[in-house]
Structure 1
């Protein structure tokens, strides 16, 4: 796998439009020229894409030049990938079902005041 410190590639025209219709995690990596290992992607593909979305949340890329938007997408995809290359999905728990699996349980018969009407 290459370094994330490599200079960003120049993207062909229409890359952003193609990214919006990408059907697989591999397409995201190929379109954004982010190197990856299949063994990492096979285990954490949805977690990586979800984390990428979380990193992009709040970024308004509308009206931004395409090259800038693609560079930002490339950077956050590489960051999300590196996170899951170093940590397992269970360590990072990006999905609610995994977060809830470790949430503190209420004692049996406990009714919070907020639940009383």
Structure 2
């Protein structure tokens, strides 16, 4: 059985929808440039918080508000290239590969 809070979340689709629903003050320009990054970072923060997520909708709403605000502020204070939310931003970083000595002499 879903709760009203969960039903509300199902209706949200854009970064702006989430920010408005949780009443997070935001700059439209910042969101326009970083909307997918903000949503992904919010998702990542929620995933990390799942084990300690409260049971009541009111308490969950507060946690969601804090995590969404944090995700949004990550991109106010920084940028997508610096934050590297998506795998594509890690593709040109130096990669370390271990090759066992036995494989070198085969």
Q: Give me the TM-score of the superposition, normalised by structure 2.
A: 0.79
Residues 1:32 and 1:112: Cα distance change in structure 2 (over 3 Å): same
Instruction: Name the CA distance, whole Å, in 1 between partners of 2:82 and 2:22.
Output: 26
- Report what 1:70 is aligned to: 61
- Name the structure with the higher helix share: 2
Instruction: Name the CA distance, whole Å, in 2 between partners of 1:20 and 1:27.
Output: 11
Aligned residues: 98
Unaligned runs of 5+ in 2: none
Alignment of 1:1-117 (within 5 A): 14-60=4-50, 61=53, 64-101=55-92, 103-104=93-94, 113=99
* Contact 1:48 1:81 (8 Å CA) reproduced: yes
Alpha-carbon offset, residue 19 of structure 1 = 1.4
RMSD: 2.4
Alpha-carbon offset, residue 58 of structure 1 = 3.4
